[in-house]
Structure 1
Amino acid sequence: MRDQSIAVVMSSYNGADYIVEQLDSILAQNISNLSVIVRDDGSNDGTVQILQQYAQRGDIRLICGENEGYVRSFFDVLAVAGDFDYYCFADQDDIWLSDKVSSAISLIQESSTRGPVLYCSELLYCDEHCKNPQRSKLNFIGLNGQKMVYEDICSGNTMVFNREMKELATIGGAKDIFAHDWWFGLVGCSLGTLVWDENPHILYRRTGNNASPSGMSSLRLAKYRVEKIFGNGKLPRIRKQIRRFYSQYCDQLDPQLREIVRVAAEGNRFQKAFAPGRYRQKRGDELLLRLTLLAGLL
């Protein structure tokens, strides 16, 4: 374990309320040879001043940049991080359990897998005070490239990946990528090996607009799912991501998955809506997606 070099990469933006707890939990990991690299994405709330204190103590490497959005910011910090054996994505407002990184590295090494490897794990949702933790109940059974095309299943704050995975997923930069973790999950499930850990090693803080759908009434849950798919102009951006993925990696996909992604990227609305297989985990979400595709909205 000591021979492995590990980089934790974080993009921060106006995270002064919680970033100290996050950084302290990262620095308290029960593993050595851990480097923490933070790119601030133009904060104006005191986050930079907090980060500078950590940098002055030598606890982190700090990069300050202009605001460009979290996707490009994560790609930028990966680009300048340097060569490590493993990389971990970190959000700015969670709390890591002390064995988060060591558990991931152990499972990756136990898998004896060569080539690109992406680790993801179960997590514990909690409130803004990190109280009342509840398992997310993420379902990774049968997860494959097709199921990642239209749904972001892998949570970025649990991700650990090797150098081969980093190099594969960052080809071409951040152009037309909807979310960095969705992209890494799609690339990893399609062209690499996914290592899934059913045990949680992170407290995932849910705040404000980040509130969990857990415990919602049926009506509110239906409204949440509609907004999750249709809200904030997401559909055109998701479409661009699918097309970018197909153009970038089509020659490397196995024939069956290549055809699935081709239809998603280039097919007409009927081909997309009636494509075989299952795309989303929940039946209601699958039906809503199919109707969205049939309407030509995605």
Structure 2
Amino acid sequence: MNHYNLSQDNDTVYIVMATYNGQLYLEEQINSIIRQTHSNWKLIIRDDCSNDNTLCILRTFEISDPRISLILDYHGNVGCTQNFSKLLESISPIATYIMFCDQDDIWKDNKIESSLSSMKMLEAKHGSKANLFVYGTYTLIDEKGKLLDEPSPNYSTPPNLNLLLSQGYVYGCTMMINSGLANYSAPIPISSENHDYWISLVASMCNAKVMYVEEPLLFYRQHSQNVSGSYKDSSFFRRIKRFFGLQEKELIESRYKMFVSLKNHFLNLGIENKLLNGYIASFQRGRFAPVFFCLKNNIRRRGLMQTLIFYFHLLKVKSV
């Protein structure tokens, strides 16, 4: 991949990190940010009322590095998604480039540089006023930081509404967005499954220009406390369990609420989407209507088995 020349670039990259009881891996993650080859960054952290040593660790870093700032507010414990929403709302008026950071991963040294290079290439092609979205993949590690014998997932299929109405597959820890997309995305509604999914949906709704970075730029840690899904979720036996379990149906119903919020969010901006409106309306008719609508409009998941699971559980959803 050809990289845009950043040698004379003074753009500040804002990194938002939502923390909660992250003492086990937090120092390793922040140190990996400090080691970045692109050093012009600001790390903005909001802690969600941790009851371990997280705050002490954060304050130590804040004192030692002026690029690191800890947000203290009166909102209390709001959960991971709203934690990221508060962070995004706080910096979207001033930040040109924004990255999202989990508390337990490890960034490769060139993560910011490579992401910003891709962003600059998008800017050169589409202009800085366009809504721009860079994302990629990761390398899997275990709790102790050891590489797992698993290939990096391929998420190169561009995020579009036909796929996103059935599943979210872009990880926030791989993202960089510009100010235009950030302003469309904030605030993230309470009905959102997570910040990753919401931003992907917003990007598809406002026709963001997208670039996929094939090189894995972070080590994504797998452990029992993962907020996002485990790589094991894609195993054959897990899929069979999902096929017959209730979780998928509940997930579809929960996502319906997120899609209604998405529709209202963009109606307030004077933007409507025929596909989104039709999908929501099919749920109101109930039973077979959502499946027929999805088949007619090529709303599916990225794999055949996942698509069959999705359609099967759509049939279980009662009209709303």
TM-score w.r.t. structure 1 length? 0.89
Identity %: 24
Distance 2:244 2:34 in 1: 39
Q: Which amino acid aligns with 1:249?
A: F
Aligned counterpart in structure 2 of residue 71 of structure 1, from 81, 87, 91: 81
Partner of 1:36: 43
SS at match of 2:45: strand
Q: Post-superposition shift, 1:166?
A: 0.3
Partner of 1:125: 140
How does 1:1-298 map onto structure 2 within 5 Å? 1=6, 2-57=9-64, 58-65=66-73, 66-81=76-91, 83-111=94-122, 112-114=125-127, 115-133=130-148, 134-141=150-157, 143-171=159-187, 173-191=188-206, 192-210=208-226, 211-213=230-232, 216=235, 218-223=236-241, 229-230=247-248, 234-249=251-266, 251-253=270-272, 255=274, 257-263=275-281, 266-275=284-293, 276=296, 277-296=298-317
Distance 1:76 1:198 in 2: 30
Contact 1:122 1:135 in 2 (8 A): no
Contact 1:153 1:182 in 2 (8 A): yes
Distance 1:283 1:122 in 2: 21
For structure 2, the residue ranges without an aligned partner over 5 or more in a row are 1-5
TM-score w.r.t. structure 2 length? 0.84
Distance 1:142 1:42 in 2: 36
SS at match of 1:244: helix
Q: Post-superposition shift, 1:258?
A: 4.3
Contact 1:42 1:64 in 2 (8 A): no
Residues 186-220 of structure 1 deviation map (CA, whole Å, 9 limit, x = unaligned): 1112321221111110000000154421784x334
Aligned residues: 294
Root mean square deviation, CA, Å: 2.4
Distance 1:64 1:155 in 2: 26
Residues 40-96 of structure 1 deviation map (CA, whole Å, 9 limit, x = unaligned): 000001100000101112341002352110111111112223511100000000000
Distance 2:17 2:282 in 1: 31
Contact 2:140 2:219 in 1 (8 A): yes
Distance 1:264 1:108 in 2: 37
Over 3 Å counting, the alpha-carbon distance change for 1:274 and 1:215 in structure 2 is closer
Q: Which amino acid aligns with 1:74?
A: F
Q: Post-superposition shift, 1:170?
A: 0.9
Distance 1:242 1:266 in 2: 13
Q: Which amino acid aligns with 1:189?
A: S
Distance 1:107 1:35 in 2: 19
Over 3 Å counting, the alpha-carbon distance change for 1:205 and 1:5 in structure 2 is same
SS at match of 1:208: coil
Q: Which amino acid aligns with 1:129?
A: K
